[in-house]
């Protein structure tokens, strides 16, 4: 998936920082990386409002954020990718090179849900639309399309995170 950070800072110096399944246009993508420690039970996790536990991969660097979930044909059950940004600002995502629909959840630094883009479709042709709120967010969680409703994720609900690096 590819994303583009479209904040003022992102647009200024980074040439539309491409964030996985999200950050708008950016550098060319490479095939998805191998799973990280985030995909193991002891790694980073999110507790959903439904109390279901999701294993997380983390997208912390501009390179990881540019790659995101691009080129993946599926997501294992109860998994997702958490994008953590250094500042709270508008972060818009796109679905270029994304193979599957995703639910994208924008949150503040405490995990309070600010915006949900449910069943966001893959982009089939350029130009790809971007998604996300115009207001500031600190993190974005991507999970399989349709799962946000199943896990009772709505604007105003909160997600809890465990085992995130400090």
Does residue 57 have a pLDDT over 70? yes
Q: What is the pLDDT confidence band of residue 29, given thresholds at 50, 70 and 90?
A: very low
Are 40 and 79 in contact, with CB atoms under 8 Å apart?
A: no
Q: What is the pLDDT confidence band of residue 32, given thresholds at 50, 70 and 90?
A: very low
Does residue 39 have a pLDDT over 90? no
Does residue 19 have a pLDDT over 70? no
Does residue 147 have a pLDDT over 50? yes
Are 120 and 106 in contact, with CB atoms under 8 Å apart?
A: no
Residue 112 lies in a domain: yes
Tell me what pLDDT residue 42 has. Answer: 81
Residue 122 lies in a domain: yes
pLDDT of 103-141, one tens digit each? 999 999 999 999 999 999 999 999 999 999 999 999 999
DSSP β-bridge partners for residue 115: 106
Does residue 11 have a pLDDT over 70? no
Residue 30 lies in a domain: no
Laid out side by side, the sheet with 53-59 consists of 113-120, 102-107, 137-144, 79-89, 53-59, 45-47, 160-162
Choose among 125, 100, 137, 98: nearest CA to 1.
98
Choose among 87, 86, 85, 91: nearest CA to 134.
91
How many other CB atoms are found less than 10 A from the CB of residue 30? 11
Q: What is the pLDDT confidence band of residue 28, given thresholds at 50, 70 and 90?
A: very low
Render 87-108 in DSSP notation, one character per residue. EEE---EE-TT--S-EEEEEE-
Q: What is the mean pLDDT of residues 72-99?
A: 97
Question: pTM, whole model, 2 decimals?
Answer: 0.79
Tokens of 79: 């998994």
**CATH number, position 70:** 2.60.120.1140
The total of structural domains in the chain comes to 1
Domain enclosing residue 87, as ranges: 8-25+41-162
Q: What is the pLDDT confidence band of residue 166, given thresholds at 50, 70 and 90?
A: confident
Residue 14 lies in a domain: yes
What is the distance in angstroms between the CA of the first residue and the CA of the last residue of the chain? 26
Residue 133 lies in a domain: yes
Does residue 9 have a pLDDT over 70? no
Does residue 21 have a pLDDT over 50? yes
Residue 35 lies in a domain: no
Residue 50 lies in a domain: yes
Tell me what pLDDT residue 23 has. Answer: 53
pLDDT of 64-79, one tens digit each? 999 999 999 999 999 9
Count Cβ atoms within 10 A of the Cβ of residue 165 and give its class: 0-12 exposed, 13-18 middle, 19 or more buried. exposed
* Cα–Cα distance measured from residue 88 to residue 84, given in angstroms and rounded to the nearest whole number: 10
Residue 117 lies in a domain: yes
């Amino acid at each position: 998936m590819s994303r583009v950070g479209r904040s003022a800072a992102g647009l200024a110096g980074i040439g539309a920082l491409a964030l996985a399944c999200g950050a708008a246009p950016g550098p060319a993508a490479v095939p998805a990386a191998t799973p990280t420690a985030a995909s193991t039970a002891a790694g980073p996790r999110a507790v959903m409002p439904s109390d279901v536990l999701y294993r997380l991969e983390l997208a912390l660097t501009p390179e990881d954020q540019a790659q995101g979930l691009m080129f993946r044909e599926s997501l294992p059950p109860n998994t997702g990718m958490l994008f953590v940004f250094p500042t709270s600002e508008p972060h818009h995502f796109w679905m270029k090179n994304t193979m599957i629909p995703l639910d994208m959840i924008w949150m503040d630094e405490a995990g309070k849900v600010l915006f949900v883009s449910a069943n966001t479709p893959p982009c089939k042709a350029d130009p790809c639309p971007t998604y996300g709120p115009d207001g500031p967010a600190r993190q974005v969680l991507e999970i399989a399309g349709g799962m946000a409703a199943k896990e009772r994720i709505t604007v105003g609900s909160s997600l809890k995170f465990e085992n995130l690096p400090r």
